[in-house]
Structure 1
Amino acid sequence: MTVVAIVGGGITGLALAYRLRSRGKDVVLLEGETRLGGNIQTRRRDGLLTEAGPNSFLDKEPATRELAAAVGVEDRIRAADPAAKARYLYTRGRLRAVPASPPAFLKSDILPLGARLRVVAELFTGRVSGEVDESLGAFGRRHLGTTATATLLDAVQTGIYAGDMEALSVGATFPQLTKLEREHRSLILGAIRTQGAQRKALPAGGPAKLRGALSTFDGGLQTLVDGLATMLGPAVHTGAKVEGLQPGHGGWRVSVREHGRQAELMASRVVLATPAYVTAGLLRPLDEPLSALVEGIAYAPIAVVHLAYAPGSTPAPDGFGFLVPGLEKRRLLGAIHASTVFPFRAEGGHVLYTCMVGGARRPDLVKLDEEALVTLAREELKELAGVTASPVFAEAIRWPRGIPQYNVGHLERVASIDAALARLPGLHLAGNAYKGVGINDCIRNAFALGDMLA
């Protein structure tokens, strides 16, 4: 009974299964749905490649590169087109380019002059006293001022968390910011010093890998999931819903309903790599207080709307896309210029937009039906980006519980969860609900857990 049972076949569970197998461990992966990958889901239709969930990753994580190489898809990593470097914000009634350097920022119109000068005054910001789990909004106002926080910082978090800046914990969502404050007092000074140290540390003539380029795979993110599924082979069981866990005899008894048949599996260790709300249900009969801690992790609903336009019917947009700060009171969180970022995702010169709707501020919009969501996205693209053509392709995907929200108190909550797990030896939790929501975070944390369990 030395098998490790992994519950959940998202990218965390798959990466963990690979890592344990590479360390000589026997694993079985149990996924309740009929497909693997969780929110990662690439669709191919009418010459278009669309992503139902995450769109890309930053190519800067060694664990992600290692995983891609191990499953034979490293050579299929595709960096974003150089034309996609520009980024935009919709603010004060129109799209404005995000400046790429401090001098460009001072000359830009991304913020009013007074707000830009207030950002410069960040050089004289003092540290917060004591250990305070501060909201992202409060932290931003201390360092950058009200306008820059409500415009720039809110847009950044929207692109990652689709959250509420007054609820999100800065220490949990952007730990690099609190680290800069702790070590350098000023974020600007800290960024300058850190970048200088990083440049000195780069080896001359070193490899071009891990440059932090926005990337995906030829064939979409599903390429990595499919490669892992092939590598893991019969260790993966889809349509296998775990209905209960019981400790005993130095391990765990796992009750599984697989394709309608009831079965039991004995495992030396169990890893729950499921969403927090699923994990909480499995924990409830074992440890009610621990279950409540996990269940307290909120999720922001999100809808993804893809709109494709015929060649020549609308100008191809430049840059990565645009984000919309909450103060603009729009119904769109932002849009990715998918066919500009990754031209191979739209054949024949089609223009493809990926629009985001909902989030923590407008959860009601995710309840709209597909037709209403498509209409909403078309209306917003017309008003914000001037897209007046009719799409030749449209689809909407709703995630009622889409993105975990690391709200104020999250770090303390996770510490309490880790401490409570000591009451259930051999049981572990993993996934994007705890210590990082991105693909790189999930893979890196899965590797770390795999190394610990090996």
Structure 2
Amino acid sequence: MNESPQTPLRWAVIGGGLSGLAACQHLLTVSKSKSTPVEIDLYEASDRLGGVFGTIEQDGYLLETGADMFITNKPAALKLAKQLGLEDRLIETEASYRKSMILCEGRPVPTPAGFDLMAPRQLHPFLKSPILSPAGKRRVLKEYWIEPDPKEDESLQDFAVRRFGREAFERMIQPMIGGIYTADPVKLSLRATLPRFLEMEEQYGSVLRGLKLHSEQENSADAIVNNQASGARYGMFLSFDRGMSVLQDALFASIANGITLYKNSSVENITLRENRSYDVSIQNGQTTRTYDGVILAAPGYVAGKLVEGLNLELSSELNAIPYASAAIVVTGYPLSQIQHPMECFGLVIPAVENRKVLAVSCTSRKFPNRAPKGSIQLRTFIGGALQQHLLEQSDDELLAMTQQELREIFGVEGTPETSRVVRWNRAMPQYHIGHLDRVSRIRRQLEKHPGLAVAGNALNGVGIPDVIQTAQASVEKCWTEITGAD
């Protein structure tokens, strides 16, 4: 006698960005490994997948509208790329341009070789740099002897000023770290964003001492290259031969036959049925479907609205996560129109410089084929938590502002060969002091709802590897709760 077919587990994944795609892919992977059939519905409110993430071919350029690379010391993105068969399409950053610059009194100055976001791994290049005054450099070196005073939760500004002094914070640390999160450094929680610096203070009594010991323990060729790089440790970053959309396209291709995709479909609310399954209401209640598991791969404020009728405390906590907006103005220029040699991966701009842009990334210096020969692709970042008001301007005004800033900083003349303005509206969650406590409270509320999870970048990291890892963890949490199997 034949066994009756196993009833599939029904899943709703809400949000078609990278997180939602990664959640679908991991659901199919787990389903196959457990020999348990699934039915997956992916809901996306807009007419396209990927959110702000993606690569556009325009005027001979490969324009990146979101992240232009990913870090490999967090393994989730690299592991997924290999799983999707993309290993031969991975490319490293160009070694010859692996340095960053910091704007100092109106001019770009190289970041000292070996400077690791907050402190120098090597003293000689740091001491030679003109970015800090002699008094500012002495104050940084004094960090060796400052007694640890770890706090439960401390802002980037408070920690940096306490350990390294105000000048180093304003001139180097704020632009390098604050720019990653488009955040207000007075509010940004260091424990929620870069806890390794706090751990060095706690473990070694000094960040400088911790960096020195870590450098001595690293003997690989990559470590040597990274110690020579300035700013981010660029040897740890990868992209793809035809841009970051290679990952997104392969990810969707891997799931396309295993899911039902609903574009232009706004989920309105989620309610609980008596049998612990969930009703998902779509398009003003016109359609309601029932699911065993729901993955909320959406911003915190979207997820908070959806669970309002399910759990008011969970909804309030998700809604309380603040978000910042930003814009990227992507431009392409012939190098002949630029006075500066642009031999770097990018420039960060301290808030004390009072400029209208946060940073400039030289994407075609990082990777080949991003610009025609003899030209360069620049991505200029505007807005963030400290300059939200600038985003009230039109795209044309943002482009004109960018051209003016590039002219004054780099000597960029004339009009660009290509341009595009990309807006990240409420796309960057702000991990303020208390964020980790909020995440703990959110998790406690989610424990009351087996089969419900929050993915995306709202809770556990904003980088590509963080988002992928969070999506996969959300799937595994729900799978265990629904099936009782690890």
Whether the 8 Å contact between 2:92 and 2:235 is mirrored in structure 1 is no
Alignment partner, residue 116 of structure 1 = 137
Task: State the shift of 1:94 in Å.
Answer: 1.3
Whether the 8 Å contact between 2:93 and 2:238 is mirrored in structure 1 is yes
Instruction: Find the residue that maps to 1:277 and give its secondary structure.
Output: helix
Alignment partner, residue 18 of structure 1 = 25
Is 1:225 aligned to 2:245, yes or no? no
Instruction: Find the residue that maps to 1:3 and give its secondary structure.
Output: strand
Alignment partner, residue 119 of structure 2 = none
| Aligned 1:194-205 pairs, distance under 5 A | 194-199=214-219
Task: State the shift of 1:212 in Å.
Answer: 4.7
Post-superposition CA distance 1:101-126 (Å, at most 9, x none): 32111111121111111111111122
Alignment partner, residue 207 of structure 1 = none
Whether the 8 Å contact between 1:366 and 1:400 is mirrored in structure 2 is no
Instruction: Find the residue that maps to 1:388 and give its secondary structure.
Output: coil
Instruction: Find the residue that maps to 1:407 and give its secondary structure.
Output: coil
CA distance in 2, matches of 1:67, 1:299: 28
Is 1:346 aligned to 2:371, yes or no? yes
Task: State the shift of 1:262 in Å.
Answer: 4.1
Letter in 2 for 1:254: V
Instruction: Find the residue that maps to 2:294 and give its secondary structure.
Output: strand
CA distance in 2, matches of 1:180, 1:333: 28
Question: Would the alpha carbon gap of residues 272 and 368 (structure 1) be closer, same or farther in structure 2, given more than 3 Å must change?
Answer: same
> Which segments of 5 or more consecutive residues in structure 2 lack a partner in the other structure?
1-7, 115-121, 224-232, 480-486
Alignment partner, residue 390 of structure 1 = 415
Instruction: Find the residue that maps to 1:118 and give its secondary structure.
Output: helix
Is 1:159 aligned to 2:159, yes or no? no
Whether the 8 Å contact between 2:70 and 2:77 is mirrored in structure 1 is no
Question: Would the alpha carbon gap of residues 153 and 311 (structure 1) be closer, same or farther in structure 2, given more than 3 Å must change?
Answer: closer
Question: Would the alpha carbon gap of residues 123 and 287 (structure 1) be closer, same or farther in structure 2, given more than 3 Å must change?
Answer: same
Alignment partner, residue 253 of structure 1 = 279
CA distance in 2, matches of 1:238, 1:119: 54
Alignment partner, residue 263 of structure 1 = 287
Alignment partner, residue 313 of structure 1 = 337
Task: State the shift of 1:132 in Å.
Answer: 2.4
Task: State the shift of 1:452 in Å.
Answer: 3.4
Alignment partner, residue 105 of structure 1 = 126
CA distance in 2, matches of 1:424, 1:68: 32
Task: State the shift of 1:330 in Å.
Answer: 0.7
Task: State the shift of 1:57 in Å.
Answer: 1.1
Alignment partner, residue 57 of structure 1 = 70
Whether the 8 Å contact between 1:59 and 1:212 is mirrored in structure 2 is no
The TM-score with structure 2 as length reference comes to 0.87
Q: 2:298 aligns with which of 268, 274, 277?
A: 274
Is 1:93 aligned to 2:106, yes or no? yes
Whether the 8 Å contact between 1:158 and 1:333 is mirrored in structure 2 is no
Alignment partner, residue 117 of structure 2 = none
Task: State the shift of 1:426 in Å.
Answer: 2.2
Alignment partner, residue 284 of structure 1 = 308
Task: State the shift of 1:19 in Å.
Answer: 1.6
Q: 1:134 aligns with which of 154, 163, 166?
A: 154
Q: Which runs of 4+ in 1 moved over 4 A?
A: none
> Which segments of 5 or more consecutive residues in structure 1 lack a partner in the other structure?
204-209
CA distance in 1, matches of 2:113, 2:373: 31
Instruction: Find the residue that maps to 1:403 and give its secondary structure.
Output: strand
Task: State the shift of 1:453 in Å.
Answer: 3.5
Instruction: Find the residue that maps to 2:423 and give its secondary structure.
Output: strand
Post-superposition CA distance 1:318-350 (Å, at most 9, x none): 110100011111101010112212231112322
| Aligned 1:356-395 pairs, distance under 5 A | 356-395=381-420
Task: State the shift of 1:60 in Å.
Answer: 3.1
Letter in 2 for 1:232: I
Question: Would the alpha carbon gap of residues 212 and 265 (structure 1) be closer, same or farther in structure 2, given more than 3 Å must change?
Answer: farther
Range that drifts further, 351-360 or 418-427? 418-427
CA distance in 1, matches of 2:29, 2:314: 31
Task: State the shift of 1:137 in Å.
Answer: 0.1
Letter in 2 for 1:142: R
| Aligned 1:396-411 pairs, distance under 5 A | 396-411=421-436
CA distance in 2, matches of 1:365, 1:56: 26
CA distance in 1, matches of 2:210, 2:140: 14
Alignment partner, residue 297 of structure 1 = 321
Q: What CA RMSD, in Å, does the superposition of the two structures yield over aligned residues? A: 2.3
Post-superposition CA distance 1:196-237 (Å, at most 9, x none): 34448x99xxxxxx9953222122111111111111014041
Q: 1:66 aligns with which of 79, 93, 101?
A: 79
Over the matched positions of the two proteins, sequence identity in percent amounts to 32
Whether the 8 Å contact between 2:327 and 2:381 is mirrored in structure 1 is yes
Count of residues paired in the alignment = 445
Q: 2:442 aligns with which of 393, 412, 417?
A: 417
CA distance in 2, matches of 1:247, 1:197: 52
Instruction: Find the residue that maps to 1:312 and give its secondary structure.
Output: helix
Whether the 8 Å contact between 2:452 and 2:478 is mirrored in structure 1 is no
CA distance in 2, matches of 1:348, 1:110: 33
Letter in 2 for 1:182: E
Whether the 8 Å contact between 2:268 and 2:285 is mirrored in structure 1 is no
Whether the 8 Å contact between 2:307 and 2:314 is mirrored in structure 1 is yes
CA distance in 1, matches of 2:85, 2:448: 40
Whether the 8 Å contact between 1:243 and 1:255 is mirrored in structure 2 is yes
CA distance in 2, matches of 1:139, 1:347: 43
Letter in 1 for 2:90: I
Letter in 2 for 1:391: P
Whether the 8 Å contact between 1:244 and 1:256 is mirrored in structure 2 is yes
Whether the 8 Å contact between 2:269 and 2:308 is mirrored in structure 1 is no
